[in-house]
């Protein structure tokens, strides 16, 4: 079963900062600075992190919506890093994306039918079957046939996200990259959409890369989880390992910062000092050392290696072993 579907090798994305007048020096925002992971067929890999950590940029690079500055993206054994738009077009039906904002990701001037038909037209689906496929898709995501002739603004947030998911499913993809698919939704609607995504995964054998900031959602949906901080993965492990035995101090702080919806539970929490540094000017050494409660001199100088501490449990921290003992 452990078949690799997607392999991301040390990808980087540097955005140039518009240079100031009369200044020659080119500066860059290192949005993603060397991220590697693999995604196996049928699993859900989540990438969590706070704003500006580069999780969405990573997703967009895999989708080839952004150029990759450095590194490689390999999908089903094919290196798609340097493919042109025309070369990658036929491959696009294998991987699709679901976006965060269900209000903005649907063209308000098109009917639901036109929106769902678009991928079918682009990938030359049989014309006669398109109508039937649209109906089928609507039913799969729990909507009705009569919704087809409506416009996006006539739907609620949850329904629109269902439409977004239906669009992604239209061409039977193998991989879906979901960028914060439930964070714009109401609490009572989130669980509906999460359940739908789980059902669809089972039904169609989908593989998810799930990008999110909400750890409780991530714990619910993932098989494996990667934690990003300032453009780098700091920890990657199976869900049980990561939530049960987090090794990186950032992961620990992140987990303890999540408010627990149970007033009877009282706990000590690690509160990180200060703000997230700007990715345009990241700290030296371990980028987390400015906020890390356990930072040592080494952390300021040396970039920690992203190493496999235990089988399948990767962490980028000099002192992971010692911290684990404490």
Partner 1 sequence: MEKKVLQVRNLQTHFTSDAGVVKAVDGVSFEVGKGETLGIVGESGSGKSVTSLSIMRLLKDTPGKIAGGEILYEGRDLTKISEREMRRIRGNEIAMIFQEPMTSLNPVYKIGRQLEESIILHMKLSKKAARERSIQMLKAVGISRPEKIVFEFPHQLSGGMRQRVMIAMAMACNPKVLIADEPTTALDVTIQAQILELMKSLTTTTDTAILLITHDLGVVAEMCDRVVVMYGGRAVEESDVVSIFTNPKHPYTQGLLESIPKIGDRVERLSSIPGNVPIPAHMPMGCKFAPRCPHAMDVCWDKEPSFDKLTDNHSVRCWLHKEVPTDEPNLVGSSER
Partner 2 sequence: MVELKLSNKEAYYQQTLENIPSKTPFSEFWRKFKKQKLAFVAFFFVIALILLAFIGPFITPYDITEPDYENVLSGPSAEHWAGTDAYGRDIFSRVLAGTQISLYVGLTSVLLGAIGGTFLGIVAGYYGKRIDSIIMRICDVLLAFPGILLAIGIIAILGPGLGNVIIAVAIFSVPMFARIVRSSTLAVKSTLYIEATKSIGTRPKRIIWKHIFPGTVSSIIVYFTMRIGSAILTAASLSFLGLGAQPPSPEWGAMLSGGRDYLNMAPHVTIFPGLAIFVTVLAFNLLGDGLRDALDPKIKE
Interface stretch with partner 2, choices 2-10, 34-42, 106-114, 190-198 (CB under 8 A)? 106-114
Interface stretch with partner 2, choices 11-19, 145-153, 226-234, 303-311 (CB under 8 A)? 145-153
CB closer to partner 1 out of 8 and 166? 166
The yes or no reply on residue 164 touching partner 2 (CB under 8 A) is yes
**Angstrom distance (rounded) from CA 26 to CA 144:** 53
Q: What string of DSSP letters covers 24-71?
A: ---EEEEEEEEEEEEEETT-EEEEE--TTSSHHHHHHHHTTSS--SEE
Query: Both tokens of residue 77?
Result: 């054994």
Q: Which does 154 bind (CB under 5 to 8 A by kind): partner 1, partner 2, none?
A: partner 2
Inter-residue contact 66 to 12 (CB < 8 Å): no
**Angstrom distance (rounded) from CA 203 to CA 275:** 42
CB neighbour list of residue 56: distance below 8 Å, 6 or more residues apart: 179, 180, 211
CB neighbour list of residue 190: distance below 8 Å, 6 or more residues apart: 182, 217
The yes or no reply on residue 244 touching partner 2 (CB under 8 A) is no
Which is it for strands 70-75 and 313-315: parallel, antiparallel or unpaired? Answer: unpaired
Q: What string of DSSP letters covers 247-304?
A: -SHHHHHHHHHSPPS-TT---------SPPPPTTSPPSSSTTTTT-TT--HHHHHSPP
**287 burial via Cβ count (<10 Å: 0-12, 13-18, 19+):** buried
CB of 255 to partner 1, least distance (A): 7
Which is it for strands 224-229 and 232-238: parallel, antiparallel or unpaired? Answer: antiparallel
Please identify which residue in 71, 119, 158, 246 interacts with partner 2, judged by CB under 8 A. Answer: 119
46: nearest Cα among 200, 204, 268, 207: 207
CB of 323 to partner 1, least distance (A): 18
Interface stretch with partner 2, choices 90-98, 222-230, 233-241, 246-254 (CB under 8 A)? 90-98
CB closer to partner 1 out of 99 and 155? 155
The yes or no reply on residue 18 touching partner 1 (CB under 8 A) is no
Q: Which does 258 bind (CB under 5 to 8 A by kind): partner 2, partner 1, none?
A: partner 1
Please identify which residue in 13, 55, 162, 167 interacts with partner 2, judged by CB under 8 A. Answer: 167
Please identify which residue in 26, 89, 269, 307 interacts with partner 2, judged by CB under 8 A. Answer: 89
Q: Which does 188 bind (CB under 5 to 8 A by kind): partner 1, partner 2, none?
A: partner 1
Please identify which residue in 88, 194, 303, 309 interacts with partner 2, judged by CB under 8 A. Answer: 88
Could you tell me how many residues of this chain bind partner 2 (CB under 8 A)? 34
The yes or no reply on residue 280 touching partner 1 (CB under 8 A) is no
Please identify which residue in 139, 154, 186, 305 interacts with partner 2, judged by CB under 8 A. Answer: 154
- How many C-alpha atoms does 318 have within 13 Å on its Cβ side? 17
User: Looking at the DSSP assignment, which residues form a beta bridge with residue 235?
Assistant: 227, 315
Q: Where do contacts with partner 2 occur on this chain (CB under 8 A)?
A: 63, 65, 88-90, 92-93, 96-97, 99, 101, 104-110, 118-119, 121-123, 144, 146-147, 149-151, 153-154, 164, 167, 171
Q: Where do contacts with partner 1 occur on this chain (CB under 8 A)?
A: 50-51, 156-159, 186-192, 194-195, 198, 213, 215-217, 219-220, 243, 253-264, 269, 271-272, 275-276, 291
């Amino acid at each position: 079963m452990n078949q690799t579907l997607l392999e991301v090798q040390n990808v980087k994305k540097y955005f140039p900062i518009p240079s100031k007048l009369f200044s020659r020096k080119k500066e860059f925002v290192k949005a993603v600075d060397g991220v590697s992971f693999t995604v196996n067929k049928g699993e859900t890999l989540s990438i969590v992190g706070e704003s500006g950590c580069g999780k969405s940029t990573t997703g967009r690079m895999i989708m080839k919506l952004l150029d990759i500055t450095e590194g490689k993206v390999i999908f089903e054994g094919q290196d798609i890093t340097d493919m042109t738009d025309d070369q990658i077009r036929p491959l696009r039906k294998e991987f699709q994306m679901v976006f965060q904002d269900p209000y903005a990701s649907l063209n308000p001037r098109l009917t639901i039918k036109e929106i769902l038909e678009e991928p079918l037209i682009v990938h030359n689906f049989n014309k006669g079957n398109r109508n039937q496929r649209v109906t089928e898709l609507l039913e799969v995501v729990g909507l009705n046939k009569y919704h087809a002739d409506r416009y996006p603004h006539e739907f609620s947030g949850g329904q629109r996200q269902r439409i977004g998911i239906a669009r992604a499913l239209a061409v039977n993809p193998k991989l879906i990259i979901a960028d914060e698919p439930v964070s714009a939704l109401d609490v009572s609607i989130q669980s509906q959409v999460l359940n739908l995504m789980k059902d669809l995964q089972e039904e169609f054998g989908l593989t998810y890369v799930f990008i999110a900031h909400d750890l409780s959602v991530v714990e619910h949906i993932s098989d494996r989880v990667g934690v990003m901080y300032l453009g780098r993965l700091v920890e990657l492990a199976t869900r049980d390992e990561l939530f049960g035995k987090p090794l990186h101090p950032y992961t620990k702080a992140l987990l303890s910062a999540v408010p627990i919806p149970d007033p009877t539970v009282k706990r000590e929490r690690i509160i990180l000092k200060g703000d997230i540094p700007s990715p345009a000017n990241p700290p030296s050494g371990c980028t987390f050392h400015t906020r890390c409660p356990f930072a040592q001199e080494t952390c300021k100088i040396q970039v920690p290696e992203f190493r496999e501490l235990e089988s399948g449990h990767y962490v980028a921290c000099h002192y992971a072993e010692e911290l684990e003992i404490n």
